[in-house]
Amino acid sequence: MTNPFPRDFLWGVATAGHQVEGNNVNSDTWFLEHLPGTIFAEPSGDAVDHYHRYREDIALIAGLGFTSYRFSIEWARIEPEKGHFSVAELDHYKRVLEACHEHGLTPVVTFHHFTSPRWLLQAGGWEGQETPDLFARYCDRVMAHLGDLIGVACTLNEPNLPWLLESFGIGAEAPGNRGSVPMWAAAAERLGVDASTVAPFQFCSSEAGFQVKVAAHRAATAAIKAHRPDLQVGWTLANSDIQAIAGGEEIADRVRRDVNERFLEASRGDDFVGIQTYGRTVYGPDGHAPAPEGVPIKPDG
């Protein structure tokens, strides 16, 4: 049988730092997890302690025959306070990268996978006009320390996710409505800011959020390429197969444009665009349409 994949095709697994490392205590997500009225089911805590167990985890990945490992580095660890960078944390990720190379894995590094430093949330988060430059500065610092070890670079993971979640009625709130949501109200009180300015990456679906994320991606790409013009750089999107039945075409077209098309358009000129797809969404005249009779669906529970 002929193998349809090229010999240098990368087969791999992926993780997100906050979800596996544990104790990401300076991040906005850790902060949100511990607020009254939090939407998170439980705090991340130690997670699976990948921060300390990365060597054995990477050995397991290689032992399964994979050729790449995609993981994120945590901005909140590297810049726990604005303008203060931790060489110790940069060195930690250097050791992670070196372990990948020791096991023959191409490291695919995501510079931002949902979580940001807590201080960024206090400064307007992913609607803040300073955020693109701050993110690019962080990427520049990472590249100066680690750039020669990175195999592929992803700037942002799933910047379009809030719009996808919003299409299901999950999470996203217009700036003027955030104060009515217990978690955002509690966050604003703790941070000493107006609730309308609380804009975490994965829950911000405003037009300002879209513009800031695109600007941050482009500024980060330039910062990364300044160190390694040869390095492949892109971002990764959460795209759904959006379909319509009779009467749902207008809704489907709008969601497809907001969630998929404008982010793909913003990817023009990048070295690649990553696609993560979790299923299809069908719209009828009243919104989401039920699955057709006889189609296999995931059972409850």
Helix, strand or coil for residue 284?
strand
- The pLDDT value recorded for residue 276 is 93
- The pLDDT value recorded for residue 214 is 98
Token representation of residue 121: 């949330």
- The pLDDT value recorded for residue 235 is 98
- The pLDDT value recorded for residue 216 is 98
- The pLDDT value recorded for residue 1 is 54
Q: Give per-residue burial for 45-83: e unless 16+ CB within 10 Å, then b.
A: eebeebbeebeebbeebbeeebebbbbbbbbbbbbbeee
Q: What is the mean pLDDT of each run of 10 residues along the chain (301 residues)?
A: 83 98 98 95 97 98 98 98 98 98 98 98 97 98 98 98 84 81 94 96 94 98 98 96 92 94 97 92 90 73 50
- The pLDDT value recorded for residue 3 is 75
Token pair 């217990």: residue: 182
- The pLDDT value recorded for residue 299 is 64
Q: Which fold has domain 12-288?
A: TIM Barrel (3.20.20)
69, 70, 72, 71: which is closest to 104 by C-alpha? 69
Interior angle at CA 113, CA 110 and CA 117, nearest 5: 110
Q: What is the dihedral of CA 30, 222, 232, 79, to 10 degrees?
A: -20
Helix, strand or coil for residue 213?
helix
- The pLDDT value recorded for residue 165 is 85
DSSP H helices, the chain, are: 17-20, 28-33, 50-63, 75-78, 87-102, 118-122, 131-146, 161-166, 182-191, 207-227, 249-256, 262-266
